[in-house]
Amino acid sequence: MRRDPRQDEGTAPAPGTAEPRDRVGSPRLAAVMHAGFFALMASSSARLVLRHDMDAHTAASLELAALVAVLYAVGMLLWGRARRPVLIGWLAAVVVCWIALVTMAPSFAFAAIPLLFLALRLLPVPAAVAVAAVLAVGTSAAWAALTDIRDPTVYLVPAAIALMVVVTVAELRQESERHRAAIADLLRTRGALAESNRRTGVLEERERIAREIHDTVAQGLSSTGMLLRAADRCWDSEPERARELVRQAAVSVRDNLDEARAFVQGRGPVRLDAETLPDALEALCADTAAQSGVDARFHLDADPAEAAALPEPVSAALLRIAQGALANVREHAGATGAVVTLTLMGDRAVLDVIDDGAGFDPATAAPGGGRGFGLAAARARAEELGGELTVESTPGEGTGVSAAIPLEDR
């Protein structure tokens, strides 16, 4: 079912378009006011019977009191069903009948109190003030006729009480509206925050997917293409070498497919399923040497058992960083050799990849973009685990990439 946007804004339905809401107090207060009205009407009727003879005037007063009570009860039944204009007309009829009643029997003046609250619940403040003035005048006149007292309190007390009640209820209403507006603002803020979090999550997931594609599918396709181009160049002159390169390309495609499946399934690098990080790094260097001719070597500067027991997130990040760095060496550096070193330094693991290639200016991206997104992805991987990535390079003097990841609390 479609939501009414006004519900989200905390606004009340427009007058005459929906059932009215209790603007003052809770349903319990409304029930007390209704019960109070009938109690006052009953006690005033009893007083009338006890203090006056049952003559025509008394009988007419009781009949009019019964009419007022029935009319009030009808309004109670209509309150949750009728539209606001109908209820306003009903309230006007009740007040007119009450004025006629207190004119005939002043003791019914006390019923003005629940009528005042009824007006405040139903009417806006200016209209409620007008009704309060009518009720105060009627109560003062009835009190004067009932007590035969001629002093200022007869006229000032009902007016003062009506004024205090109207002002108090008006303030409560304004406070309620302020609270409603504040709640609506909070709901809007919460919605905007949720949308912002959703967008942030989408961007983070998009960045993660881009990193995984770059480090798996893109690198695999690039390696395969390089092998196939090399095979094509030596197809006629060195057929055995060409067939070996094609076989390597087929293996690369198979490995790349496995990596893609693992990525889709939310798993880490495939190499780490059956190998430790040192073994995976050594195999990566061997593959790089076989596919590109770069003399890539791995060196472990740590206890092999400790290196093999590194946490899975750290191992996965360091392997991906090494893959990206060696891909840059293979495709863009023009290097003849590269050294990958894994070092455990107490509370952190450090991976260094150093090549003797052409180097570049770290402040700019090298042609082909190899030093652009790849390094940014590697830096993001390290920072996700609380680590850092540093790049040192000078044109013509090779490149060094170092990733340090803390091991505490993992």
Is the pLDDT reported for residue 23 higher than 60?
Answer: no
Residue 392 parent element (H or E): strand 388-393
- Residue 365 has a pLDDT of 55
Which ranges constitute the DSSP H helices of 105-238? Answer: 112-122, 125-147, 152-213, 219-233
Tell me how far apart the alpha carbons of residues 67 and 64 are, in angstroms, rounded to a whole number. 5
Q: How many C-alpha atoms does 91 have within 13 Å on its Cβ side?
A: 26
Tell me how far apart the alpha carbons of residues 100 and 106 are, in angstroms, rounded to a whole number. 10
Tell me how far apart the alpha carbons of residues 126 and 218 are, in angstroms, rounded to a whole number. 73
The structure tokens listed for 183 are: 């709640």
- In the three-class reduction of DSSP (H, G, I as helix; E, B as strand; rest coil), residue 81 is classed as coil
- Residue 202 has a pLDDT of 78
* Type of residue at 106: P
Average pLDDT for 202-219: 72
Is the pLDDT reported for residue 235 higher than 80?
Answer: yes
C-beta atoms surrounding 94 within 10 Å: 22
Residue 365 sits at φ, ψ, to 5 deg, of -95, 140
- Residue 333 has a pLDDT of 78
Residue 321 parent element (H or E): helix 312-328
The CATH 3.30.565.10 domain(s) of the chain lie at 273-410
Is the pLDDT reported for residue 290 higher than 70?
Answer: yes
CATH of 273-410, one of 3.50.50.60, 3.10.129.10, 3.30.470.30, 3.30.565.10: 3.30.565.10
- Give 73-128 pLDDT, tens digit per residue: 888 888 767 787 888 888 889 889 988 988 888 888 888 888 888 888 888 888 88
The structure tokens listed for 312 are: 């899975």
Report how far apart, in Å, the C-alpha atoms of 175 and of each of 119, 168, 248 are: 19, 11, 77
Residue 404 sits at φ, ψ, to 5 deg, of -120, 125
Tell me how far apart the alpha carbons of residues 29 and 44 are, in angstroms, rounded to a whole number. 22
- Residue 25 has a pLDDT of 42
- Is residue 11 very low, low, confident or very high in pLDDT (cuts 50, 70, 90)? very low
**Which residues are within 8 A (CB) of 282 and not within 5 positions of it... i.e. 6 or more apart?**
298
Question: In the chain, pLDDT over 90 holds for what percent of residues?
Answer: 8
C-beta atoms surrounding 7 within 10 Å: 11
Closest listed residue to residue 378, CA positions, set 329, 321, 313, 318: 321
